[in-house]
Structure 1
C-alpha cells in the first residue's frame, strides 16, 4: 500500500455498525461511525476559517474568490448545509436472485480492493483508477493506488483527462472495461441530499484588522426522519399462483374441485374403463 493510503488503513474500522443492519442494539458507546446527538443547526458540524487575502488565488478558472466545500461529488458554496438522508434497502427475499437480475450487490457478494465498503460510487472510482493506470501507466494523486503504481506528473495531465473521458464513451475497449468493472449499486445505500442556504454577514465581521476573510460553514441534519425506499419482489411464487387461479376462475369458471374432476376423468376413470371395471 502506498504511504499516502496508510492514513485510511490506520483509521478506525466500522464497529458495531453495518450499512445493511445499521447500529447494533445496546452498543452506544464505542460504535463507529459516531452518531449525531440530535438534528438542527445547534447540533451540527461547524467549520470556521480565517483566510489571508494574500492567499486568494486570482487565476482560478471560476469567477470570484472564496472557499469551496466538497461533499462527496458536487461542490457547494458557503454557509449552511442541511443534510437529508435517503436510505435504499433490499428485501432478503431477493437474495435468491442473481445480482444481474436484481441489479444490485449485497455487501457479502462484492469486495473492492481499495475500499472497505462497497458502493456503486466507490466501484466507479476504483474502475477509473484502474483504467487510468492502464492508459497512462500512472494515476492521479487523488486516486486509490497500491505501492507499485506511480503518481502522474504534469506531463501526464492530458493523458489522465483523456482516459476519464474515454472510459464513458462508446469505444469498444472502454465499454468492455466498464462491463468488466460491473459497478452496480449496493443493495443497501445511503444518499445525502443537501439544501444550501447562505447567511448574510456584516462587512466588519468578514474583514478583520489582519486583512483576513472569515468563512463560517454549518453542516447539520434537517430532521429526525429518513426517507426510505425498499426493493422487493413484484410478484412472488404464491402471488403468481393466486393470480393464475383468479384469472382461470374469472374467465373459465374453474375451481379446485373442477381441476380435481378433470384429473379424475383423464386418469383414474380411464384406467377403470380400460380394465373393464366400469
Structure 2
C-alpha cells in the first residue's frame, strides 16, 4: 500500500511539472512574439520614409507628442482617402474626352454625303381630274369610318384599290390619326404597288451634273424604300451591304447589280482606291465640285388630296451607311426656287486606347460590340430604327411596310395604321420611363407591357453632314419668255422646276477625336502625388512596410526564441 501511494504521488508531481513547463514555454513564446512585434515596430519607425511615423516609435518621446503625431497621421490618411476617392470617381465616370484633332482633314478622305430625294407626288395621275376621284374615295372612306366601319367602294378596279390602300400608308390625311375601318381585299406587296405608281426618274430629275459630267446621275441613284414611299438615293451604300441576308430589303435587292463599296466608316477608303470610287468623293469644295440637278414636277399631276398644300421635294443628307429616315430630318425644296446647300462635315474618330473601356463608360459602341438583328452596320440611327420595328411588332403584331423586317414578319394593314403611328411615341415614353426608373428618378416601376431597351449609344466613329441653306426665286416661265423659247412648255405642259446644288463649303475640316481623358497611368500618378504630398508614401515605402513585418519580424522572432531557450 505504501509503495502504491508513493508511485501515485510521483506520477502526480511529474504531471504538474510537465504542465508548468508547457505553461512556461507558452508564456515565453507569447512574450517572444510580443517582444518581436515591439522590436520590429520600433525598428520600422526609426527607418521608414513615411513622414511622422518615426515620432510614434521613439521611447523618449513624451506621450503628448505621440498623441499629436498620431492625430496628424490619422488626419493625413483621411485626407488621402477622400482625395483618392475623388480621383477614382473621375477616372471611373469620365474616362473619355472628345477633343479636336491635331490636324485638319481634307474632304477627299470622306465620301460625299448620300442624298435621298423624295417627291411629294406619289403617283402619276393618268387623266385629268384623276386626283378628284381619289379625293372622293377618301370622302367615302371617312364616311364609312363613322358609319358601318366597312368600306365598300363602287366602280373601282382591284388595281386602283391596291393603289388607294397603299396611299393610306404614305399620305398625310386626317384618316391616319383615327382608327381605320376594315378594307376588303387580299394581301399584296406595298413596294410593288409603290413602284408601279412611282413617277419616271428622268421625268422628275430633269437635269443633273456630277464630276463635270452631265445627265449621268442615274448611274449613282437607286430606289430606296422609306416611310415616305419609294425615294431615290444618291451615293448611298446598296441594301445588300447594309442589311443582313434574312431581311426583306436584302432579299428584294439581291438580284440587282450594285457597285462594290471601297469605304467603311472606321477604316476609311482602301489605300488602292482611285479618285473615282464608290461611295463617290470630291477633291475640293465649291459648287463646281458638287452635285447640281434640276427637279421638275407638273401642276396637273399634283395630288393635293394626298400630300396636302405643301408640294415639291424633300431632301435628306446622311452618311452612306445610314438608312434614310426622311420624315425626321429633311430640307424642303419648294417649286420655283433655287436651293443651295453648303455641307460642313462633322466627323468623330476614335483612339486605340479607349477600346479597353466598357461601352457604358466611354458612352459609345465600336462596330463589333453591338450586333443588330437586321443591319450589318451599326449606327445610332440604324439601331433606333431596328428598336422601333421590334417595339411595333410587340405592340401591334406587325410592322410598317418600310421598317426593316425578316421575311416571316407580318406587315401592318390599313386597320393597323393608327397602331404603328402611335407606336413610335409609345416607345419613346417607355424608354423615358425606363431610364428614369434606372436612374432612381421614379419610385414606381415602368408600366407593364411592351418595354423598350434600345441601348442605342452613338457609334464611336461617326460622320454627320451639317448644312447651310440659301434660296432664291427661280421663275422658269419668265426665263423661257425672255429667251423666246416656246417649245419647252409645249413639250412639258404644266412644268414647274427648281434647281438644287449640294457641295462642300470648305476643302479642309477639323475632325473630333475620342481619346482617354483620365487613364490608369494618370490615376496611379494622381494617387502617388496625393500620397507623396500628405505622407511621403511611395512604392518603396510599401515594400519597406512588407519587409519589416515579414522578413525582419521573422528574424527578430527567431533571435528571441534562441535567447529564451
Per the normalisation by structure 2, the TM-score is: 0.44
Aligned pairs for 1:3-82 within 5 A:
6-7=252-253, 10=256, 12=258, 15-28=261-274, 31-59=277-305, 64-71=310-317, 72=324, 73-78=328-333, 79-82=339-342
State which of 454, 471, 474 in structure 2 corresponds to 1:198. 471
How much has 1:20 moved relative to structure 2? 0.9
Is residue 345 of structure 2 the alignment partner of residue 85 of structure 1?
A: yes
Cα pair distance change 1:13/1:202, threshold 3 Å:
closer
Query: What is the rounded CA distance, in whole Å, between the counterparts of 1:8 and 1:83 in structure 2?
Result: 32
**Does residue 129 of structure 1 match 2:412?**
no
| Cα distance per residue 1:134-165 (max 9 Å; x no partner) | 32232222212222233323222101112122
Match of 2:504 in 1: 221
Measured in 1, the distance between the counterparts of 2:457 and 2:480 equals 46
Structure 1 residue 266 displacement after superposition: 3.8
Identify if the C-alpha distance between structure 1 residues 213 and 125 changes in structure 2 by more than 3 Å, giving closer, same or farther: same
| Deviation of 1:118 (Å) | 0.9
C-alpha distance in structure 2 between counterparts of 1:174 and 1:230, whole Å: 40
CA 1:115–1:226: 2 relative to 1, 3 Å: farther
Aligned length: 277
Moved more, 69-78 or 153-162: 69-78
Unaligned runs of 5+ in 1: none
Greater length-normalized contact order (CA 8 Å, ≥ 6 residues apart): 1
- The Cα RMSD (Å) is 3.1
Task: Please point out which of 517, 524, 543 is paired with 1:234.
Answer: 517
The structure with the largest alpha-carbon Rg is 2
CA distance in 2, matches of 1:174, 1:24: 49
Match of 2:370 among 79, 100, 110: 110
Mark the runs of 5 or more structure 2 residues left unpaired by the alignment. 1-246, 318-323, 334-338, 434-445, 482-487, 561-565
Distance verdict in 2 for CA 1:199–1:7, change over 3 Å: farther
- Secondary structure of the 2:498 match is strand
Distance 1:93 1:122, change over 3 A: same
Give the stretch that moved more between structures: 139-148 or 185-194. Answer: 139-148
Counterpart CA distance in 1 for 2:386 and 2:255 is 16
Choose from 249, 263, 270 the match for 2:532: 249
1:188 counterpart = 2:461: yes
Task: Name the one with the larger helix percent.
Answer: 2
Q: 1:216 to 1:145 in 2, by over 3 A?
A: same
Distance 2:395 2:502 in 1: 39
The Cα of 1:235 is off from its aligned counterpart by 1.8
Q: Is 1:138 matched up with 2:398?
A: yes
Relative to structure 1, the CA distance from residue 70 to residue 60 in structure 2 (aligned partners, 3 Å threshold; closer, same or farther) is farther
Say if 1:158 and 1:52 are closer, same or farther in 2 by CA, change over 3 A: same
How far residue 111 of structure 1 moved from its aligned partner, in angstroms, is: 2.5
- Provide the rounded CA distance (Å) in 1 between the counterparts of 2:349 and 2:381: 16
Q: Determine helix, strand or coil for the equivalent of 1:146.
A: coil
1:271 to 543, 547, 554: 554
Matches within 5 A, 1:155-166: 155-166=415-426
How has the CA–CA distance of structure 1 residues 125 and 255 changed in structure 2, closer, same or farther, with 3 Å as cutoff? closer
Kindly state the Cα deviation for residue 76 of structure 1 after the two structures are TM-superposed. 0.7
Q: 1:156 to 1:256 in 2, by over 3 A?
A: closer
More displaced 10-residue stretch of structure 1: 189-198 or 166-175: 166-175
